[in-house]
Amino acid sequence: MLRFSALYLLNLAAFLAPALAASPDSPRLGQDPVMVANAVESFIRNLAGVSPDNIEVSVQAPRVSQLPACDRIQPYLPRHQHLRARMTVGVRCTGAQAWTTFVPATIRRYGYYYVAKQVIRPGDVITHDLLATRRGDLLSLPKDVVLDEAQALGHFAMQRIAAGVPVSRRTLRTPNMIRRGQTVRTQIYGRGFVATSQAQALQNGKPGAEIKIRTSGGKIITGVVLNGHTVHVPM
């Protein structure tokens, strides 16, 4: 009789096991990696703020299957992170069993930028005829690449830019900008007089910026840029 009871109980347990596992009150043992990956991808797309056609996001499979299952997933940017070609997104569970993990992702953000249509030489004034548009992954280009033609038109090239090379704002100067090594006119205002002289700029500077200059006598002083040729030296 005892043998029969034990066998009966074993069969009953095997029969009830699937039902018990499917019970809504049963705890899930591991976090779903797909859920985390989808949350990270949505977070990156919202962060980029561009149309779906202009961005590609590839999320590395999260290693979260050993973490407690969580329905309150919160992606975030770790400190000093920003949108770039390769980045890491933090993911935290804000539920009862809190945890934090980090998920790598690769991003391509497409858009239009400007390249040199032909060789641009130092001192050339940038005109529409010198520029051409290209479409590509903006995150793979220098951060200061020209995205708007207005950022370049009327500016002077500070160095040679080969044909087809992206135009960067750091390679340009505004018409009112003084560049290092340039001979500038200095103005010193006093009570009832204005003294002028010449000096050499030791730094680049836009109007309003303070730069160091070397006077004809070899003295290094600081002045304020007035325009592309003149520096005001306060007394």
Tell me the average pLDDT of the chain: 86
pTM: 0.63
Structure tokens at 42: 């949505």
What separation in angstroms does the CA of 5 have from each of 2, 10, 14? 5, 9, 14
For residue 164, pLDDT over 90 is answered with yes
Query: Do 199 and 215 contact (CB within 8 A), yes or no?
Result: yes
The secondary structure of residue 235, as a DSSP letter, is: -
| pLDDT recorded at residue 95 | 85
169-211: pLDDT as tens digits: 999 988 778 888 889 999 888 777 788 899 999 998 888 899 9
| Cα 107 to chain centroid, rounded | 11
129 three-state secondary structure: helix
Phi, psi of 178, rounded to the nearest 5 degrees: -95, 135
5 — pLDDT class (breaks 50, 70, 90): low
Domains belonging to the chain, first-starting first, are 33-109 (no CATH), 110-173 (3.90.1210.10), 183-232 (2.30.30.760)
| pLDDT recorded at residue 87 | 95
What separation in angstroms does the CA of 116 have from each of 38, 129, 145, 174, 177? 40, 9, 12, 18, 22
* DSSP class per residue in 27-84: PP-S--HHHHHHHHHHHHHHHHTS-GGGEEEEEPPP--TTSPP-S-EEEEPPTT--S-
